[in-house]
A and B are shown apart, each in its own frame.
Chain A
Amino acid sequence: MTRQGLLVGALFLLCILITIGQPRFLTIYNWLNILQQAASIGLVSSGVALLMIGGGFDLSVGSVVALGGYLVAVGFGTGLPIPLVILLAVLAGAAVGAVNGYGVAYLRIPALIMTLGMLYVVRGGVLFLSGGETAGRGYPESFTFLGKGDLIGLPVPVIIMGAAYVALYLVHKKTRFGRYTIAVGTDAEIARRAGVNSRFHVAKLYILSGALAAAAGVMLSARLNASTTNAGIGYELEVIASVVIGGTSLFGGEGTIAGTLLGVVFLAVVHNALNLLGVSPFLQQFAIGSLLLFSAAADILAPLLAQRRLNLAALSQFRRPQSG
């Protein structure tokens, strides 16, 4: 709650500051542009957010983005119709997620190691199979529409991202799947004792994360009208930063889908601002990394600070009424 408030405040402040320096910032055109740029990272972040609420972690998403794009090239190369091309790519992402999920939930490989391994397995595989170059370009217009088109005045990728957030928001808040996600993220063993198939549920979350990452890869190749093998490099930082800045706990069990979208927009605005200011991309990475560390530290320190305030309150004769 307070985290989201803080984030909205920071975003607001940032926007004012940028607008003072660069009035062009506040145009709808620029905003749609920002959102369109953020759409593929945003789509990946939505799945990773639910995964992290469920106590998981996924470093392999960037490579799966490249895999999705690569399979678009392969699919069109073999003359498959568009829906099958997309399905093939998304299923491949889900399969990578299934491998991650199997390794983490059933073989008990630490998620960090499992998904770091898959980051290189998948990236290496894509680079090897495609010969390390652009895997394909020049796709049908009805396909590139998914990345470049407009619908009711909005870029299609922004609509896709928005739909994903609405869907996952509802899943998280309103469905049994969301309830189990919170439960296994808080304590998988307690959830198991209550009758939840914890391992299978965690595996499903990895599958979801993989499928959405591949979908983002499809969308990205549609926007670029090309599949590049270096697509999605560095996504893991942006995605995890978005999720954590958005208020999802590093320890699982707690988090918000809406906050994640806020985190995505916040980082996109930071990038946009730094671009407008002409800051080097290297320094931008430095900045995003620092933001991630700040919010992680806040996540860990906040309970301690709250504790301290509680103790101080106990010393005072003027107790504040307990908040419900």
Chain B
Amino acid sequence: MTDHDGKAEFPCLEVQGISKRFGGIQALDNASLSVYPSEIVGLVGANGAGKSTLINILAGVTRADEGEIFVDNTRVAINDPINARQLGIEIVYQNLALIETLDIASNIHLGRELVQRPRLFQWLNESRMQAQAKELLSSIGLDLNPKLRVRNLSGGQRQGVALARAIFFQARIVLLDEPTAALGIAETLATLEIIEQFRDHGLGVMVVSHNLEDIFRITDRIVVMRAGRVVGARTTAETTSAEIVNLITMGAAEEAI
């Protein structure tokens, strides 16, 4: 059962040979990586390395030109965000992607509202959604009134809501794009703690960050991208900050993962 750091036998998410061009820019060039259940993979690289593009492809927001995606060893096509969600992939976007004018509960349930019977009118079951949101928030240590509008929340609270939304519907894979970039120290620590909870619950997690300290604090493995290519993958416990920085900036010889 265990040949990978005591983790599961095969990855819950694997991408192979993904390429993507935007006009003249090769945003992704034959990129491959994998994420196992109960592990946190850190995805690092300079600005423009292609990290967000990779996440957007897995989210169904952008289409890859080439390459294959496997979820639980099964080849899948991710054509739109609904597809990704059905596969158990949840995204915490760089810009959080919350609707400012809606309240917390509505944001958590957006696209997956609970409706009352008869379903014809799609009448919202507001009280149940509020109750579920409340319970979910407290499960990740957030004491927030789910009726608050997102507009009135602090950066850390918004991040909490985005994280809560990501795990609400039995996600098995959570991808986070710079989840702490806009946060203060306390809020960053709280967010990292929640991400670790995801792993402890058996999810496969991939987190993009520029903060190597954060990356070394929570990840099990680190994947480095440069100019659209994966230029290295290291087990966190067996590498150093200096080596990762070196990979990010100059890159070692390209290696398979």
Residues of chain A touching chain B, judged by Cβ–Cβ distance below 8 Å, are 174-177, 179, 182-183, 185-187, 190-196, 253-254
B interface SS class: loop
- Minimum distance in angstroms from A202 CB to a CB of chain B: 15
B98 at the interface (CB under 8 A from A): yes
Closest A residue to B106 by CB, please name it.
Answer: A179
Interface string of B99-130 (1 = CB under 8 A from A): 11110001000111101000001111010000
- Which residues of chain B are within 8 angstroms of A192 by Cβ–Cβ distance? 61, 81
Contact assessment for B100 and A186 in the assembled complex, using a CB-CB cutoff below 8 Å: yes
In the bound assembly, the distance between CA atoms of A174 and B116 in angstroms comes to: 11
Q: Is B225 an interface residue (CB 8 A)?
A: no
SS class of chain A's interface: helix, strand, loop or mixed?
helix
A195 to B98 Cα, complex, angstroms: 12
10 contacts between A and B (CB under 8 A): A174-B123, A175-B123, A183-B110, A186-B99, A186-B100, A193-B61, A194-B97, A195-B82, A253-B100, A254-B101
* B115 nearest CB neighbor, chain A only: A176
Are B102 and A183 interface neighbours, CB within 8 A?
yes
Taking a contact as CB atoms under 8 Å apart, the answer to whether B123 and A179 are in contact is no
Complex partner residue of A179 from B59, B91, B121, B124, CB under 8 angstroms: B124
List chain A residues, Cβ under 8 A from B110.
Answer: 179, 183, 191, 194-196
Near A by CB (< 8 A), chain B positions 116-172 give: 121-124, 126
Contact in complex: B98, A190 (CB < 8 Å): yes
Contact A195:B85 (CB < 8 A) given known A179-B110, A186-B101: yes
Q: Smallest distance from the beta carbon of A227 to chain B beta carbons, Å?
A: 34
| Whole-angstrom CA separation of A175 from B116 in the bound complex | 10
B93 within 8 A of A: yes
Q: How many residues of B contact A (CB 8 A)?
A: 24
Q: How far is the CA of A187 from the CA of B93 in the complex (A)?
A: 14
Which residues in B have their C-beta under 8 angstroms from that of A191?
A: 99, 110-111
Which of B97, B115, B121 sits near A190, CB closer than 8 Å?
B97
Give A177 to B124 CA distance when docked, in angstroms: 9
Output the least CB separation between B10 and chain A (Å). Answer: 28
Quick one: which of B59, B115, B124 has the most chain A CB within 10 A?
B124
Closest chain A residue to B150, Cβ basis = A186
B113 touches A176 (CB 8 A): yes
The answer to whether A195 and B111 touch across the interface, beta carbons within 8 angstroms, is yes
Bound complex: CA of A194 vs CA of B150, how far in Å?
15
- The 7 A-B pairs of least Cβ separation, nearest first, read A195-B111, A176-B122, A194-B110, A194-B111, A253-B101, A186-B101, A190-B97
A residues in contact with B122, CB < 8 Å? 175-177
Q: In the complex, are the beta carbons of A182 and B99 less than 8 A apart?
A: yes
Q: Which residues of A contact B106 (CB under 8 A)?
A: 179
Closest to B98 in A: A190
Q: Are A174 and B100 in contact (CB under 8 A)?
A: no
A110 to chain B, nearest CB (A): 22
List 10 additional contacts besides A177-B122, A193-B81, A195-B82; criterion CB under 8 Å: A175-B121, A175-B124, A176-B122, A179-B106, A179-B124, A192-B61, A195-B110, A195-B111, A196-B111, A253-B101
